[in-house]
Structure 1
């Protein structure tokens, strides 16, 4: 296991956090932590994209194969970040049990792939699929913090996030999960880990679907209210309220 690489990664992300804390002292620690998360998301997506689409091998056909040097490096960079982020979340009590379970499962999966020397191929695929939506999630938080979330830009970020999550983490992730389960090279413990990670993806998907429904319904209700106001007099008609209740 590349202990030195993981340690350097942990130290690097921690130093970046301290730099952000010093630079944005007036914004608070979560602002700095989310900047680190955003930086990690961009870096690891680019790194694992190169591993998957350029260097190879393809995770759908080579699940369970021996780790390459670049795959190992990618896992070390990501593992160091997850150690940092888990410690930060526990220290500041910012996340619930589901997110903490996701962090713990991610750490366990990367540790197993590094310790056994195999399955980094599909693990990098899981990391790519999981982190590709992360910059959008952080953008949503920053827009809300800056008071610009309730805008066309905020709607576009939410729509792209939900679409990517459903298509990549649930859709493509489901096919990768199937390939991992059916691969004769993948060990049983990695298959069981895949079951846990995909189950967590569905837990998140259900929460995201509920959020999407609530936001869409709220926007529709506001649109109907604005349309009724522009219509003029409809609300004063004796049948106006009853008609609205029937449509609801």
Structure 2
């Protein structure tokens, strides 16, 4: 290759890196070859969308106050509700906090996923945006609060505790790596989308209004959203993350864990739906027979 062509390639490589394309006039062809190789290596490294370790530590230092502030905010709200509804008990107030978090985080991550971007189905493993990091920090603070409450009060089973642990690990890892914020926010959005309906179902039970048309509507909406979003769309997102070369291996393993937990929940929900439908059919059949007997008399 001629020295003039090597100089042209070196200038192009420098321009791609945003540097001033002025190679030394006395540069040898071998030196220029090294310059081109280094430029290509830098471009390949930049394509991984990973933060260097020093930058990652800086980002975590900036986000730790957000996580702690979120934790203190949810705890303060819980204490205020405990003071306002003393006769209701801890679980009532904790579920009010959970309901508030579900609504807020769905709106926040929904904006991140659908408006601010990037789209998680096409950009898994990309570098986090500031809004993605703030959203995950707010959600992470809540999960720390809820996990501590569950440990203290023993209100959840092992599957839900595993879900909380996997969620905390996944969000913390995405913040530490500085990447995969798009698909992590997508998972949070899909997971929390059904949460308000789940809390509404619990409050209807406590109010004695669950066995009504409203209770049936809440159950149908919950099952449909869970199956359509967390399992249906979740399967597509899980496949895109696994087949993409960008996400870190740890994030892919976290995706496997969350997807497996979604199917565990889906099986339980399916059993619940079958039992409830069978019970309603039996009650309807008994009522129909009573009416038929009354008409015959």
TM-score band (shorter)? over 0.9
Q: Aligned match of 2:205 in 136, 144, 148?
A: 144
Partner residue of 1:64? 125
Q: Aligned match of 2:179 in 107, 111, 118?
A: 118
Unaligned runs of 5+ in 2: 1-59
Partner residue of 1:161? 222
Partner residue of 2:240? 179
Q: How does 1:81-120 map to 2 (within 5 A)?
A: 81-120=142-181
Partner residue of 1:128? 189
Unaligned runs of 5+ in 1: 237-248
Q: How does 1:182-221 map to 2 (within 5 A)?
A: 182-221=243-282
Q: RMSD between aligned alpha carbons?
A: 1.3
Alpha-carbon distance in 2 for matches of 1:235, 1:216? 29
TM-score by length of 2: 0.78
Q: Which moved more, 1:181-190 or 1:152-161?
A: 181-190
Q: How does 1:11-50 map to 2 (within 5 A)?
A: 11-50=72-111
TM-score by length of 1: 0.94
1:234 positional shift: 10
After superposition, the Cα gap between the structure-2 partners of 1:235 and 1:190, relative to the gap in structure 1 and judged at 3 Å, is farther
Large movers: runs of 4+ above 3 Å: 233-236
After superposition, the Cα gap between the structure-2 partners of 1:190 and 1:235, relative to the gap in structure 1 and judged at 3 Å, is farther
1:184 positional shift: 1.1
Residue-pair matches, total = 236
Which of the two has higher C-alpha Rg? 2
Partner residue of 2:55? none
Alpha-carbon distance in 2 for matches of 1:235, 1:32? 52
Partner residue of 1:229? 290
1:217 positional shift: 0.1
Quick one: higher RCO (CA 8 Å, sep 6+), 1 or 2? 1
Alpha-carbon distance in 2 for matches of 1:233, 1:112? 66
**SS at 1:158 equivalent:** helix
